A and B are shown apart, each in its own frame.
Chain A
Amino acid sequence: MAQADEIIHQQTRLKIMATLRAIPQGEWIEFARLKAILQATDGNLGSHIATLEGAGYIAVNKDFVGKKPRTRVALTRSGRKAFAQHIEFLRTILDAAASRHGDREGTS
């Protein structure tokens, strides 16, 4: 049975993972663009990214475009797998609730 992932489940981190999951595998998204999509502040987003990076769920790449610094992030293979398992866990809860609801209707 799928397990809950407490690192991913926090609301902002859940949205970060979902946003990265929608990008083709192997592609990166710039920090500034992620911030705009999630409407988060630099500090808030930075701390959640550090947590996800620490768990090995996302990779962070810092480089320069000309003289301008650029930070990009992408989902790792283990992040993709953990996110899929967390979604499965959420669906399991809904399925179990639907099944309980069906049982009650069947016995009444």
Chain B
Amino acid sequence: MMLSPKDAAGALRDIEAAQARSAQLHGYARSSPQLVLWGVLWVIGYGLNDVFPAYSGAIWGAVVPIGLIAGFAALRGTGHKVGWRYGAVAVTFVAFFAAAFFILWPINPKQIAALIPLGVAAAYVIAGIWWGPRYVTTGIAIAALTLAGFFLLKQHFFLWMAGVGGAALILAGIWLRRA
């Protein structure tokens, strides 16, 4: 089989483009159920937080482990290889926020409830810079909605995060799935 350098270069370009698109769409498909899951958990967690503000610690102490276990199961269920990285990402997030709250203490429940989504939003924007523009859009939307709720609707911030924040995550998950 004879190929000119031009043909070879063209074939390598095709390979690179197909691999990049495949990796991006595979990543979106992998992230989609996680966003939908956490959107539902935000609705439940922030909703309960609005009704029972004195029990924030207990509510999130239950919701976060449920989310991590369900997220792990969702990835396994869809045939994705998970490995140790899923646990490592979870430990990194928990350690980062524990350290941040320790440094910033005293900090009120609404500030905690705003800082965590902002951290998640930053992670999505960073991921998107490398792996796909839809993550950037998702991250910016989460950050903008969190800040809007925190500064403009302080009295109803938990309710805002339950309804608008949770719904935004669910919609973002569906949007990634349809990419």
On chain B, the residues within 8 Å of A22 by CB distance are 18-20, 22-23, 26
Determine the chain A residues whose CB is within 8 A of the CB of B79 once the complex forms.
27-28
A93: B residues at CB distance < 8 A: 3-5, 8
Asked if A43 CB lies within 8 Å of chain B CBs, one says no
SS of B interface (majority):
helix
A87 x B81 contact (CB < 8 A) = no
Binds A, one of B9-17, B98-106, B152-160, B166-174: B9-17
A45: min CB distance to chain B, Å: 13
* Interface size, B (range): 20 to 34
A90–B21 CB distance below 8 A:
no
Q: Which residue of A lies closest to B178 (CB)?
A: A36
Q: How far is the CB of A102 from chain B (nearest CB, A)?
A: 13
Whether the Cβ atoms of A90 and B1 lie closer than 8 Å is no
Residue of A nearest to B6 (CB): A97
Chain A, interface size category, equals: 20 to 34
Is the C-beta of A50 less than 8 angstroms from some C-beta in chain B?
no
Contact B1 A29 (CB under 8 A): no
Q: Report the Cα distance A90→B13, complex, angstroms.
A: 11
CB contact between A18 and one of B1, B19, B25, B29 (< 8 Å): that residue? B19
Is A55 located at the chain interface by the 8 A CB criterion?
no
Given contacts A11-B14, A26-B81, contact A19 B19 (CB under 8 A): yes
The answer to the question of A60 belonging to the interface, with a C-beta cut-off of 8 Å to chain B, is: no
Chain B residues with CB below 8 A from A80, complex form? none
Nearest 10 interchain pairs by C-beta: A18-B18, A97-B5, A22-B22, A4-B1, A93-B8, A19-B22, A22-B19, A22-B23, A18-B15, A90-B8
What are 11 contact pairs spanning A and B, CB under 8 A?
A6-B1, A14-B14, A18-B15, A19-B18, A20-B22, A28-B79, A33-B29, A37-B22, A87-B12, A94-B8, A94-B9
